A and B are shown apart, each in its own frame.
Chain A
């Protein structure tokens, strides 16, 4: 139901853009926010859904897991819409009005992928969101943006092919593509599960690309850097969340009977992702690329939480994703405000002395960077404790040691930015943005980061109920 609303709003937006003589951004904004709001309203009653666990002939699941994911994704989309409006208003880029409908389509795909109960639906939703994202990445007229879109499209097409291949193998192994039915089929089997494991491998490759796990992460720095910043923020927060939620559903439900086979895979992926992401970020001189590598490392941390293939692991991963969404939206929001004269200002040099020019922005960015590094009392710290705790409870403490060491390495480049902002003189004269509306909008991730850091219990209770995936 919420997806229908979103798609409807998106189609209205497209029509408006196409048919109206002179489009006004504010109508687009209003329509997009109305669509998102209506979808959210449609989602709330689903929390107490007492009917059948899947609808539409078993294609779409209705459970608390999907309610949480929908609400998270809708909020991220709302923030992205606000960012995009502001970005278009003041930057020199010629961004077309189709951005809003595309964002809505992408969000619809994302919410659908987290609620899918059938692998075919997962693939369908994956395509919907990916296609929308490819266009969004290239929606600015700059060469870097178009290049980013091409790269994303080519690599994404490959990974979608892998994913579909995996779906085919899963069908071949079990005779069905429904997520829960696959689990039922695999549960009773003994002996070699080669075909099912192959299916798992291909599906994992497809997912790993979307969440930017090493070694499928190559697209991330270029795409994040080239795309317009609000799109980057949306991609970083929402795509990861959606892809991970879908991954959880597929790994932990479909392949639940094979956990002992695939946990080592996740272990290795998590370890190398955390290390590579943290280490490579140290060498970066552009803040968007740095944040791209940090998002890679953070994907590794979520994978660490998932090595414990039970409700505790799922809960810690969900908490981390929500906390991460807040941090990354906030960080990219500040990046957008600092690089006011167009995208060239994303080099780290332009952050020198930011504390003198704009103490508020410097303070906000410090908060988000500290949260990304995992320093108390921020949400990032609680999230890291959660995923490390889950991994340790499953007995994988060497992975946790790797994780904390990667965190320390990561802290180095976060601190470097903070040092630049506070302890060095501003170079040149830059005139960054001073819009009040957006600073107020940035307050939301900031408050969330602090509140979740001190009172994580507010969210943990909800997530406990949501992390039990109903069959």
Chain B
């Protein structure tokens, strides 16, 4: 049983899907409960995974291997390391919250829950696959449930947003498939037969000529850059985030975008280290443009969901900047930011959804003074805004700080530009909060209810984590650092250090306690 923990975590949601599909007469509430129980069960199993994970070990753990298609060298190969561990946990943590937040949905609830659970399996599968084609399969499999959730239960322009999302991502991954197949073919030479195993392919890829690896890097990069999203391939994101239902936005921002960044670390860096160094400046500049562009465009938004969407573009630019700095602070900061952004932006979308359910508008110019009407909700919103801005003591600060330091070490200009974006984030987030929560209350908003019990259950876990990870990031970094050190050692041995960045900075950074 314990040998197959990862498979259980990945496929448990599918059990829920089967139940939902077969149980034709399920009432709405029954479907919701099935969804909730399945996601909570998956979360508990993932805690077991966390428990089994050895903190100091940079190699892949809990590996399971089974031959899938012998003739093609295709294997069912899964495993996790410090990076994917937290991605898995982030996913399983956010899913029950997303299901709870979806309680108000009342159309086709059964299909909706089935879609959410299928999405969970696809995302978890992407994070744990160590076989390239298996990864690609799960990566593509994410498209359909997400498309259906956006298109079926979203806002007014949902069909347009869903199609854009689908076609953008599929076009990006088209090149990924070609690159994977080319690598597979190249492996046939030295290994005698083709394989999709990442570990074996790393060795194969290192033997390839530089031009080939650069093209392959670009092919992989395009697919992940669409997902992250990196400027200029980000245009699908604002529409998809805005039109998706609340839980869809939470999952999209919290988890799906991370698959792109995860792919960059797991594949681009590990398979093509030299090409990564070659393109590092280019990618870093794209990331910086994304950071600033996202922040500036967020400034002028009046639709609060679109504002948060652009802030995601900005924050994920930080992640990519950190990853391609190839310093221990940078990469660990990037991974840390992946987790933290998932939590803080997930919380933001949850809160925006709650406001929308009450006011039925996302337009900031039509809101005002909500802090007086719904003090607790507004308070939670303020708390999350502070976390997203990067206030020390809350989680985003640690990640952003590390990324800025990490990229500063590579090029002072990078660090400086990234730091200015933090100021921009403070501007747009605080200003939007002010427009929403302070000022005169509108007639129609004076009798809105404050948080209900269900909403407290949704918000409390996430907000407490915002605080916990801000004050004690060691919880995360202890498991991330060995892996990122190994990654850096693989890519750029000159920068590798053995001391984790957070412990190294423990004396200096104000918020962290040893």
Interface-centre pick from B144, B148, B177, B182 (highest chain A CB count, 10 A): B177
User: Which of A370, A405, A408 touches B144 (beta carbons < 8 Å)?
Assistant: A370
> Which residues of chain B are within 8 angstroms of A460 by Cβ–Cβ distance?
69-72
A423 interfacial contact with B, CB 8 Å: yes
> Which residues of chain B are within 8 angstroms of A419 by Cβ–Cβ distance?
151, 159, 162-163
Number of A-B contacts (CB under 8 A): 88
A147 interfacial contact with B, CB 8 Å: no
A404 interfacial contact with B, CB 8 Å: yes
A437 interfacial contact with B, CB 8 Å: no
> In the complex, are the beta carbons of A407 and B174 less than 8 A apart?
yes
B382 shortest CB reach to chain A, Å: 37
> Which residues of chain A are within 8 angstroms of B177 by Cβ–Cβ distance?
385, 388, 404
> In the complex, are the beta carbons of B178 and A397 less than 8 A apart?
yes
The residue on A at minimum CB distance from B166 is: A415
- B156-171: which have CB < 8 Å to A? 158-159, 162-163, 166-167, 170-171
A92 interfacial contact with B, CB 8 Å: no
A270 shortest CB reach to chain B, Å: 15
> In the complex, are the beta carbons of A385 and B181 less than 8 A apart?
yes
A400 interfacial contact with B, CB 8 Å: yes
- B133-154: which have CB < 8 Å to A? 133, 136-138, 140-141, 143-144, 147-148, 151-152
> In the complex, are the beta carbons of A408 and B171 less than 8 A apart?
yes
B175 interfacial contact with A, CB 8 Å: yes
User: Which of B136, B137, B163, B194 touches A415 (beta carbons < 8 Å)?
Assistant: B163
> In the complex, are the beta carbons of A404 and B140 less than 8 A apart?
no
> In the complex, are the beta carbons of B163 and A385 less than 8 A apart?
no
User: Which of A393, A422, A456 touches B188 (beta carbons < 8 Å)?
Assistant: A393
Mask, B100-140, CB within 8 Å of A = 1, is: 00000000000000000000000000000000010011101
B149 shortest CB reach to chain A, Å: 11
> Which residues of chain B are within 8 angstroms of A397 by Cβ–Cβ distance?
178, 181-182
> In the complex, are the beta carbons of B144 and A392 less than 8 A apart?
no
Give complex CA distance A392, B138 in Å: 22
> Which residues of chain A are within 8 angstroms of B171 by Cβ–Cβ distance?
405, 408
Would A408 and B170 be within 8 Å (CB), given that A388-B178, A456-B69, A457-B71 are in contact? yes
> In the complex, are the beta carbons of B143 and A392 less than 8 A apart?
no
> Which residues of chain A are within 8 angstroms of B412 by Cβ–Cβ distance?
none
> In the complex, are the beta carbons of A405 and B143 less than 8 A apart?
no
B279 interfacial contact with A, CB 8 Å: no
- A386-426: which have CB < 8 Å to B? 386, 388-389, 392-393, 397, 400-401, 404-405, 407-408, 411-412, 415, 419, 422-423
What is the size category of the interface that chain B forms with chain A? 35 or more
> Which residues of chain A are within 8 angstroms of B162 by Cβ–Cβ distance?
419
> Which residues of chain A are within 8 angstroms of B144 by Cβ–Cβ distance?
370, 375
A464 interfacial contact with B, CB 8 Å: yes
> Which residues of chain B are within 8 angstroms of A408 by Cβ–Cβ distance?
167, 170-171, 174
The residue on A at minimum CB distance from B174 is: A404
B118 shortest CB reach to chain A, Å: 10
B68 interfacial contact with A, CB 8 Å: yes
B168 shortest CB reach to chain A, Å: 10
B56 interfacial contact with A, CB 8 Å: no
Give complex CA distance A393, B152 in Å: 41
- A421-471: which have CB < 8 Å to B? 422-423, 455-457, 460-461, 464
Mask, B67-91, CB within 8 Å of A = 1, is: 0111110000000000000000000
B236 interfacial contact with A, CB 8 Å: no
Interface-centre pick from B133, B140, B152, B185 (highest chain A CB count, 10 A): B185
> Which residues of chain B are within 8 angstroms of A412 by Cβ–Cβ distance?
163, 167
The residue on A at minimum CB distance from B183 is: A392
A377 interfacial contact with B, CB 8 Å: yes
The residue on B at minimum CB distance from A389 is: B181
> In the complex, are the beta carbons of B182 and A376 less than 8 A apart?
no
Give complex CA distance A455, B166 in Å: 26
Mask, B211-231, CB within 8 Å of A = 1, is: 000000000000000000000
> In the complex, are the beta carbons of B69 and A422 less than 8 A apart?
no
Would A375 and B143 be within 8 Å (CB), given that A385-B133, A389-B184, A460-B69 are in contact? yes
Interface-centre pick from B69, B148, B166, B175 (highest chain A CB count, 10 A): B69
A381 interfacial contact with B, CB 8 Å: yes
Taking beta carbons and an 8 Å cutoff, which residues of A are in contact with B?
Answer: 315, 370, 375-377, 381, 385-386, 388-389, 392-393, 397, 400-401, 404-405, 407-408, 411-412, 415, 419, 422-423, 455-457, 460-461, 464
23 sampled A-B residue pairs with Cβ under 8 A: A385-B133, A388-B177, A388-B181, A389-B181, A389-B185, A392-B178, A392-B181, A392-B185, A393-B185, A393-B188, A393-B194, A401-B175, A408-B167, A408-B171, A415-B147, A415-B163, A415-B167, A419-B162, A423-B158, A455-B68, A457-B69, A457-B71, A461-B70
Instruction: Please give me the 4 A-B residue pairs with the lowest Cβ-Cβ distance, nearest first.
Output: A404-B174, A376-B137, A457-B69, A392-B181
Taking beta carbons and an 8 Å cutoff, which residues of B are in contact with A?
Answer: 68-72, 133, 136-138, 140-141, 143-144, 147-148, 151-152, 158-159, 162-163, 166-167, 170-171, 174-175, 177-178, 181-182, 184-185, 188, 194
